[in-house]
C-alpha cells in the first residue's frame, strides 16, 4: 500500500503531540544538538554493492567513500556523547570494515529497483548499532 491515510494521520498526531524534531541539512550539522540518551537513526545513501549499482546522487555533491567515512566519524562522536545510534547500509566489505567496532546485524530487504521485474529480489543489508 502506497498511501495509508489512517497510519499517516496517526503519525501526524504523534509528531505534533510529542517532543519530536525533524531536521534537514548536512548530517554533521543537524546532529550537533544530539545529546546523551537521544536515539539517532541514520539511513545514508548506501555504499554501492557493484560498479553498476551505484546510486549515490541524492545531492549534487553525491555520497561516496569520503562521505561514508565522515558519517562513521559522526557516529563515533555521537557514541562518545552517549547517543544510541542505528545505521543502515549495504552489506559491503567496506562498510563492514568501517564499522567493525560496532554491533552489525544482517537483514534481508526487498528491493523494487530493477528494470527487469523478474530480477527484483531481497538483498542483504546491514544494521549497525552502538548498543
pLDDT digit of tens for each residue in the chain (131 aa)? 678 999 999 999 999 999 887 888 899 999 999 999 999 999 999 999 876 655 545 555 679 999 999 999 999 999 999 999 999 999 999 999 999 999 999 999 887 666 666 666 788 999 999 99
The neighbour count for residue 88, using CB atoms within 10 Å, is 15
Answer CATH for 25-129 from 3.40.50.9100, 3.10.20.30, 3.90.1300.10, 3.40.50.150 = 3.40.50.150
User: Which residues, listed in sequence order, are joined to residue 39 by a DSSP beta bridge?
Assistant: 84
CA-nearest of 55, 47, 53 to 71 is: 47
Instruction: Give 84's contacts (C-beta < 8 A, 6+ positions apart).
Output: 37, 38, 39, 40, 129, 130, 131
- Per-residue model confidence (pLDDT) at position 56: 47
Q: How many residues does the chain have?
A: 131
pTM of the model: 0.78
Distances (CA, A) of 20 to 28, 39, 48, 69, 102: 19, 11, 32, 28, 27
The neighbour count for residue 66, using CB atoms within 10 Å, is 9
Amino acid at each position: 500500500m502506497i498511501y495509508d491515510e489512517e497510519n499517516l494521520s496517526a503519525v501526524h498526531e504523534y509528531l505534533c503531540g510529542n517532543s519530536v524534531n525533524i531536521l534537514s541539512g548536512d548530517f554533521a550539522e543537524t546532529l550537533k544538538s544530539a545529546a546523551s540518551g537521544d536515539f539517532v537513526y541514520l539511513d545514508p545513501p548506501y555504499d554501492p554493492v557493484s560498479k553498476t549499482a551505484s546510486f549515490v546522487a541524492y545531492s549534487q555533491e553525491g555520497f561516496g567513500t569520503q562521505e561514508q567515512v565522515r558519517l562513521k566519524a559522526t557516529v563515533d562522536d555521537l557514541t562518545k556523547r552517549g547517543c544510541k545510534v542505528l545505521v543502515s547500509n549495504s552489506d559491503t566489505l567496506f562498510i563492514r570494515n568501517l564499522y567493525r567496532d560496532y554491533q552489525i546485524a544482517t537483514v534481508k530487504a526487498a528491493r523494487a529497483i530493477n528494470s527487469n521485474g523478474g530480477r527484483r529480489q531481497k538483498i542483504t543489508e546491514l544494521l549497525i548499532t552502538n548498543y
